Amino acid sequence: MFSYRHAFHAGNHGDVLKHAVLIACLRHLTHKETGLTVIDTHAGAGLYRLDGDYARTSGEAVDGVLRLAQAAGLAPLLQDYLEVVRSFNPQGGLRIYPGSPFISQRLLRPQDRLRLFEIHPSDLPTLVRNVAQLQAERQISVLSEDGFEGIKKLLPPQPRRALLLCDPSYELKSDYARVHGLLQEGLKRFATGCYAIWYPVIARPEAHELPRRLKALATRAGKPWLHASLTVKSARVRRREDGSEQRPGLPGSGMFLVNPPYTLQAQLQVALPALARLLAQDGHAGHLLEAG
């Protein structure tokens, strides 16, 4: 159950999409003076070394944030994303990659709150140590609980403004059903919250069905939604000369939002085509953006 470690994938194309969208949402939601609660259901370790053993083993950041950092003339949404990531590397270069907890904390104001769920036996103590360095105990809570269940006690928040980010590993097939259940429960308890769900685009029926099921749920609830996906390569499994299978890794990912900022769709209309072009790994790269 706990074999997944995000340290292997930090800064990959999925993180680029997820964190660029997260930053855009936080920029919009913090315009209003009223306090905001950010809930991260699967927080991870919080900070990652791109020059560490895990990241070097996978090399995924090379085709993600590191490739993007070499590009010029980026769309504003992507430029903002890179500036936030670079703010964690004051000595230059990109050695530290911030996960969603640290990105959120960097953009929040004194009146805002951050609630982080994590249960991975390795990532939890690392997250606790990383958060302790911020000396922001009144603003940040680290909860050693299953985020799928733990959100129930936090919704609705006071004041009634919140962004909930859900990005499980999908290591278990049951995660897809639990994500649907989380959104269903969230909309029942707090219908006006902004919900942002990341999911992998992989050759698994549950992955293809998830955005369709989330659309149906949001539509039944009468809530606006936005769906963005980025594909960087083919999902086809190839055969090596010895007959073994060569799996492609993560071909793409998507973000599904309910009650998204009204400014986000226009930002993504510019940024997504650029991402598909800049991060393409073969001729199958592409993007999708739809709203309802």
User: What Cα–Cα distance (Å) separates residue 45 from each residue in 5, 25, 52, 252?
Assistant: 9, 22, 14, 23
Asked if residue 118 belongs to a known ligand binding site, the reply is yes
Q: How far apart are CA 94 and CA 219, in angstroms?
A: 41
The verdict on whether 51 is a catalytic residue reads no
Catalytic residue among 112, 123, 167, 175: 167
Known binder of ligand: residue 146? Answer: yes
The reply, when asked if residue 147 is annotated as ligand binding, is: yes
Contact at 8 Å (CB) between 4 and 169?
yes
Cα separation values, 27 from 20, 32, 38, 66, 142, Å: 11, 10, 13, 23, 23
100 labeled binding residue: yes
On whether 19 is known to bind a ligand per the annotation, the reply is yes
C-alpha atoms less than 13 angstroms from C-alpha of 198 in its C-beta half-sphere = 25
CA 123 to chain centre: 17
Q: Which residues fall within 8 angstroms of residue 291, CB to CB, at 6 or more apart?
A: 224, 225, 226, 227, 265
Task: Mark the binding-site residues, compressed into ranges.
Answer: 19, 42, 100, 118, 146-147, 167
Q: Which residues are catalytic?
A: 167
Which residue numbers belong to the known binding site for S-adenosyl-L-methionine?
19, 42, 100, 118, 146-147, 167
